[in-house]
Structure 1
Amino acid sequence: MNAKSTLCRAALTSLTNHVLSPTWRDPAIGIVHLGIGNFHRAHEAVYTEEAMLAAGGEWGICGVTLQGDVSKRDALMAQDGLYSVVERGPEGVRVTAIRALKEVIAMPHDRTRLFELLADINVRIVSLTVTEKGYCRDPQTGDVELHHPGIENDLAHPDEPSTVPGILTAALRRRRDAGAPPFTVLSCDNLSHNGAALKKVVCSFARALSDDLATWIETQVAFPSTMVDRIVPATTDADRDAARAALGMDDAAPVPCEPFRQWVIEDHFPMGRPAWERVGAQLVDDVMPFELAKLRMLNATHSTLAYLSMLAGFETIDEAIAHPQLKALIHATMTHEIAPTLDVPASFDLLAYRDALLARYANSALKHRTAQIAMDGSQKIPPRLLGTIEARLNAGQSIDRLALAVAAWFVFLRGHADDGTRYEISDPLAARLTASVPTEPELLIDTMLAVKEVFPPVLARREDFRRPLLDAVKLLQGGARQAIETVGG
């Protein structure tokens, strides 16, 4: 590829039909985002560019990769931070070049530059999408996991951190010591009450270093919670081809997504924020009702679809939801087992939300792979499914469909579909979870429920939890498709 055929700032003048607005004032960096993956680039970055177009502000974004791999940094910086969003919906494909990303850096290679930015008082927000495992969080206490290798390293070398709690604590300490106001920390991960959860992790990490520092962070730093929603699959060659066809040039880092998007944010930003409410975000006092509805309705059924599909041989979500019995199961799970556990504002129509989710799942243009959703189950099962299960058990209600979802994860861990097709288990606990996956149902349940990082011991001991799990595992021995039909709608 030569420079003329590659997406870059100099080429923007020829892309007036593929930008949000032909007018653009290059902003200074005001947001540092940890975890510069596809989701952020299809969600927060797009909202932020639109907000700057609507109301101005110096809210350019510096994205940070945390995995030690410089390929994403190099690809995006070769394009001056530009990339395209490939929006795929029933009405076709729309390609838009996004300009809000000013810089990309990679840890640990660019540590000096990262802390230079985090010390800059013009950086008023540090946001993150690092998935549940990036929090290094003890799932039982909510505090930082002190025996996590990365955390142990960061506590021993607090000025050279590599984990999210370590990075945030080191940067906030430097701001405090310099007499500068702290930035706001904005979690955009699918984690229950994510702002409060991240605050607890960071404060417990800081407390292991200094009580005074922990108290300062606890009292002076804002950690608003958010609820984020947009289906963003992994990038494929088809997305690169679509970007090339629309733009007339190559984009090494396009991001596919659905047309739908949602962002609900607790409005607590002492240092200011972009005018996100001008472009569709909801700024609220309490994000919890929206967050629980999304975690339990969308994320839980996404995981249910993923694990049953991996066993049954459905490769994408639209293929799975096109199966009548599986669609009926998901519809019934949301209607009868999940929705009754939710307390939402009167204006929030849960059944309309259910129907919208089913329509989004059926988007055949998106090709969201079930294998992608099935990753990191040990981190996803607790927030997505166990809260609903506990709520129903405490109310003396059945959990047959929810139990089938958890049981499907257990059986999924054997590493092969019902027809023998093998697949890889991608999970932080993969080595432990896959070391022994018994075939005998009761032994399988005993083995999995003993994983305390996933299942609280009090829940694991409950007979009203174990019994439906055992029934579901036995059903799955006859094949996922048969189990889906039996439990059904």
Structure 2
Amino acid sequence: MSRLSAKTLAQVPATVRVPDYDRATITPGIVHLGIGAFHRAHMAVYLDDLLKDNPSWGIIGASLRRPDTKEALEPQDSLYTVAIRDASGTRPRIIGSILKILDANTERAELLATMASAPIRIVSLTVTEKGYCHDPATGELDAKHPDIVHDLANPAAPKSAPGMLVEALARRKAAGLPPFAVMSCDNLPSNGETVKRIVTKFASLRDAALGQWVADQVAFPGTMVDRIVPATTDADRATVAGLIGSDDAWPITTEPFTQWVIEDHFPQGRPPFEQVGAQMVKSVEPFELMKLRMLNGSHSTLAYLGYLAGYQHVSEAMGDDNIVKLIHGLMTQEVIPTLDMPGTDLPAYRDELLQRFRNPALKHRTWQIAMDGSQKLPQRLLGTIRARLKAGASFERLALGVAAWMRYVIGIDEKGETIEVKDPLSMRMMAISAGAGHDPEALFDGLVALTEVFGSDLSENAEFRDVVVSHLESLFDIGSAETIAEVVAD
């Protein structure tokens, strides 16, 4: 079977949607840092819908850590398949909005030159929470992060996303060009303001005048993005090949649902995102908080507990009535009361999330969601817990999610088998776990001392300690499934 490419695009069956524009006429207007699966299932699809009438908004993608996406898609002229899946079947379409992919490790000079060029008006990012080199508990730049230390010493050869942004902006400033807008599409609280704080601080550490220019001139529109995107498997590749009649080295599978809320602050212009379903708003914060607390908080709780209970995929875990009751109760009783969104039907959003989690066609691994928990926990669970503590309200289910994370990161599952814990703090957490063993109080005390995760307030909060330790004891004594059953029975 031939490989998907511009030459073989004409061979794709007529039932498969393909780009409705001449790719040869498309010019780049956006550089995207972190050209992973989520971007290709989300933002790149919105742009693909717009390029016919807006040809100056093509995407140049950049891989910051590994060249695997470039290596997979370069022989395909950066074309790839998005396969939308639900119980009714799989519907593929070919996406052409990504014009080129650069490997930041070997093509850094070209990447920086592109970012600094006049046609680029937006630089967007999906580099995951850890890619911002910040303290997740405070949202501030971690000036001691090895990549930040390197980039301050070698500003023209940056490794980090903040370093690349600032170097490109510095070049534009020196050339008398207006700055591009920086648009984060990652799950950070107040992502626009957070990234502005990180980038401005880095710039000021390089040069005070540059820092002031960034603070005064660069736009950082906030966003809220939502689409479930499981990791691609070989079975996915085989299915897609059968549907499009060509081999695709890296197709993307996803759900029908997609949402994008964007603060409308783009001084150098933007594509008409609203024409393809994006919501353009003055402030994204209420939507972001809703998603972080309801979807992401539930997803992480479900992932840690589901993994410990032996479920490989989210949809399998959602076949467990007790897990469904737990997640329904978490959103209804503990999360929704913390949200102030007049005019938004939060119970309807809850029910939609539960239905999305049940999608049997999406093989979303609990292990995948569990990755990088130290970076995710502050936004997904701990912020909501702080809100409940302030209100003097209960947080049993939220605390169970935290306890499940603590149980998970010891690296041994309930059958005594090794868990591959992928997390920037994994070595420190493993050392803490080794010292604590299966002593819930010692494990809690060791992990809560990670101030970059828990801050200093929660480690000193007796109520937080009592509730989480109680759940930890139960997880060690009777396991995840029985602990969930006891919590939902109360």
* 1:224-257 Cα distance to aligned partner (Å, 9 max, x none): 0000000001000121012101111100010111
The separation in 1 between residues aligned to 2:365 and 2:105, in whole angstroms, is 31
Partner residue, 1:452 = 451
Partner residue, 2:377 = 381
Partner residue, 1:87 = 84
Q: Which of 272, 275, 287 is equivalent to 1:275?
A: 272
Q: What is the DSSP-based 3-state SS (H/G/I as helix, E as strand, rest coil) of the residue aligned with 2:61? A: strand
Matched AA of 1:181: P
The separation in 2 between residues aligned to 1:228 and 1:345, in whole angstroms, is 20
* 1:86-108 Cα distance to aligned partner (Å, 9 max, x none): 11112110111100010001012
8 Å Cα contact 2:138-2:452 kept in structure 1: no
8 Å Cα contact 1:86-1:242 kept in structure 2: no
The separation in 1 between residues aligned to 2:108 and 2:264, in whole angstroms, is 30
* 1:181-239 Cα distance to aligned partner (Å, 9 max, x none): 11010000011111110110001111111111001001100000000000001000121
Bigger shift: 412-421 or 286-295? 412-421
Matched AA of 1:284: V
The separation in 2 between residues aligned to 1:450 and 1:430, in whole angstroms, is 14
1:28 Cα offset (Å): 0.3
Q: Which of 120, 125, 129 is equivalent to 1:128?
A: 125
8 Å Cα contact 1:20-1:50 kept in structure 2: no
The separation in 1 between residues aligned to 2:339 and 2:465, in whole angstroms, is 24
1:38 Cα offset (Å): 0.2
Q: Does 1:66 align with 2:70?
A: no
**Among the aligned pairs, what percent are the same residue?**
50
8 Å Cα contact 1:289-1:345 kept in structure 2: no
Coordinate RMSD, CA, aligned:
1.2
1:23 Cα offset (Å): 4.2
Pairs within 5 Å for 1:164-243: 164-243=161-240
- Runs of at least 4 residues of structure 1 off by over 3 A? 20-26
8 Å Cα contact 1:57-1:274 kept in structure 2: no
The separation in 2 between residues aligned to 1:23 and 1:473, in whole angstroms, is 56
The separation in 2 between residues aligned to 1:316 and 1:467, in whole angstroms, is 31
Q: Which of 301, 306, 309 is equivalent to 1:304?
A: 301
The separation in 2 between residues aligned to 1:369 and 1:105, in whole angstroms, is 29
8 Å Cα contact 1:188-1:228 kept in structure 2: yes
Q: What is the DSSP-based 3-state SS (H/G/I as helix, E as strand, rest coil) of the residue aligned with 1:479? A: helix
The separation in 1 between residues aligned to 2:161 and 2:432, in whole angstroms, is 31
Bigger shift: 30-39 or 413-422? 413-422
The separation in 2 between residues aligned to 1:164 and 1:31, in whole angstroms, is 15
Q: Does 1:143 align with 2:140?
A: yes
Q: What is the DSSP-based 3-state SS (H/G/I as helix, E as strand, rest coil) of the residue aligned with 2:85? A: strand
Partner residue, 2:354 = 358
Partner residue, 1:293 = 290
Q: How many residues align?
A: 483
The separation in 1 between residues aligned to 2:454 and 2:284, in whole angstroms, is 25
Matched AA of 2:392: G
Q: Which of 4, 9, 33 is equivalent to 1:7?
A: 4
The separation in 2 between residues aligned to 1:420 and 1:211, in whole angstroms, is 53
Q: Does 1:480 align with 2:480?
A: yes
1:115 Cα offset (Å): 1.5
Partner residue, 1:394 = 390
8 Å Cα contact 2:86-2:361 kept in structure 1: yes
* 1:103-126 Cα distance to aligned partner (Å, 9 max, x none): 001012001110121121111110
Q: Which of 338, 344, 357 is equivalent to 2:341?
A: 344
Matched AA of 1:431: M
Matched AA of 2:452: E
Partner residue, 2:157 = 160
1:21 Cα offset (Å): 5.0
TM-score (norm 1): 0.97
1:422 Cα offset (Å): 2.2
Unmatched 5+ residue regions in structure 1?
none
* 1:342-369 Cα distance to aligned partner (Å, 9 max, x none): 01131x1100000000000000100100
Unmatched 5+ residue regions in structure 2?
none
8 Å Cα contact 1:227-1:265 kept in structure 2: yes
The separation in 2 between residues aligned to 1:262 and 1:118, in whole angstroms, is 27
Bigger shift: 470-479 or 15-24? 15-24
Q: What is the DSSP-based 3-state SS (H/G/I as helix, E as strand, rest coil) of the residue aligned with 2:15? A: helix
8 Å Cα contact 1:144-1:205 kept in structure 2: yes
1:20 Cα offset (Å): 4.7
1:147 Cα offset (Å): 0.8
Report the CA distance shift for 1:180/1:23 in structure 2 as closer, same or farther (over 3 A): closer
Pairs within 5 Å for 1:306-325: 306-325=303-322
Matched AA of 1:415: G
1:140 Cα offset (Å): 4.3
Q: What is the DSSP-based 3-state SS (H/G/I as helix, E as strand, rest coil) of the residue aligned with 1:88? A: strand
Q: What is the DSSP-based 3-state SS (H/G/I as helix, E as strand, rest coil) of the residue aligned with 1:78? A: helix
Q: What is the DSSP-based 3-state SS (H/G/I as helix, E as strand, rest coil) of the residue aligned with 2:404? A: helix
8 Å Cα contact 1:143-1:201 kept in structure 2: yes
